Structure 1
């Protein structure tokens, strides 16, 4: 299980315990979810980074790619991992 799957599992255990208990195989579920999230982050980061501008230097490229990765990661984690808490947890 990758770090995204682990993060989702931890979040569900704490904030969505009823849904977590209903999972037949949590390890398999969060392993798959983590892989989906990693792929989605990679795809979105490439889209956000766009094409390499003419004359872009190494440090500018590194900054552009890192920024797009962090932005994509934040967006996807909010959409797929940091889900609303269960009503009894509010």
Structure 2
């Protein structure tokens, strides 16, 4: 997944801040690391949001709880680490 996040970040940043991307010493290494950081942040946030399973939770309820946590975490992390406002990258 980190490769997907790296590609999304690179695409967005290249369109939004082309000069900053050009100024990176090693853009591939930068976006590879960013993708890994994003994936780790999503996993950590997902675990936090999902919390402990309630007693007697059914399979479908568990699936829904975990999927909701994952989607919420992914949305939050992408907004805070990739889809930044221009003044947030300084």
State the secondary structure of the residue aligned to 2:11: helix
Which residue pairs with 1:36 in the alignment?
37
Aligned residues: 86
Pairs within 5 Å for 1:8-87: 8-85=9-86
Stretches of structure 1 lacking an aligned partner (at least 5 in a row): none
Q: CA RMSD in A?
A: 1.2
The Cα offsets for residues 38-88 of structure 1, whole Å up to 9 and x where unpaired, read as 0000000000000000010000000000000000000000000011247xx
Aligned equivalents of 2:34 and 2:26: distance in 1? 12
**Relative CO higher for 1 or 2, CA cutoff 8 Å, sep ≥ 6?**
1
Q: Which runs of 4+ in 1 moved over 2 A?
A: none
